[in-house]
A = this chain, B = another copy of it.
């Protein structure tokens, strides 16, 4: 029953390494390249490095009012430190909040065709991950940017195609929806051979700086966060 804390990721102490690379060497790498090395076990090519930083930087923050900023700031206002408050923000990133990248990678990398995928979602009534946006109806500029970069860097492949096929198949059945940024990221990350199980993980990595910024801002607002509540039960 004794435990077994073994890892292939990194070591500490005098010969500290990250995936076999000496930590001192890692300190000369771009932070996004270190993240790639750490998660994928190898260094990115120059092209992969280029698009990965666009993906991370583009997800770094996105206004206040969404569940993760609200929970992070609310927990801070209860009188808590940075680590506890940021953690509460990350906890909010469940299946419905930032989950479309991971779900998108899963359907793209499945054996199912674009048509089969659309059919399944139409049957279930669920939203197709990667399609639709509440503001953009024609084009999502972030998706455009990621897809253009991927094209010009020679990184677009079968999964970008499959994502477009899903968009077409849905347009044939129902209506044309914009490919949103989650769809673009899911497709490009899949073309770079990333594991779907890390889809939520790199969104968390990208968004943590935003949560740190929001918690820091909240620290300067001394008041306790209290919302108007209403009791609708029996008296």
Contact = CB atoms under 8 A, between A and B. Distances in A.
A89 B3 CA distance: 18
A212 B216 contact: no
Interface string A121-149: 00000000000000110000110011000
Measured as residues with beta carbon below 8 angstroms from the partner, the interface class of chain A is 35 or more
Contacts of A195: 216
B82 A75 contact: no
B94 A8 contact: no
A234 B19 CA distance: 7
When all copies of this chain in the complex are counted, the total is 4
B74 A67 contact: yes
Interface string A74-99: 11011111111011101111111101
Interface of A: 1-3, 5-20, 23-24, 26-35, 38-39, 53-54, 56-58, 60-71, 73-75, 77-84, 86-88, 90-97, 99, 135-136, 141-142, 145-146, 195, 197-198, 200-202, 204-206, 208-210, 212-217, 219, 224-235
Given A9-B233, A12-B66, A18-B61, 5 more contacts: A7-B214, A64-B231, A71-B78, A80-B92, A80-B95
20 contacts: A6-B232, A7-B229, A10-B210, A10-B233, A26-B60, A31-B35, A31-B206, A63-B229, A65-B227, A65-B229, A67-B75, A75-B88, A78-B92, A81-B95, A83-B93, A83-B200, A86-B204, A87-B91, A96-B224, A97-B224
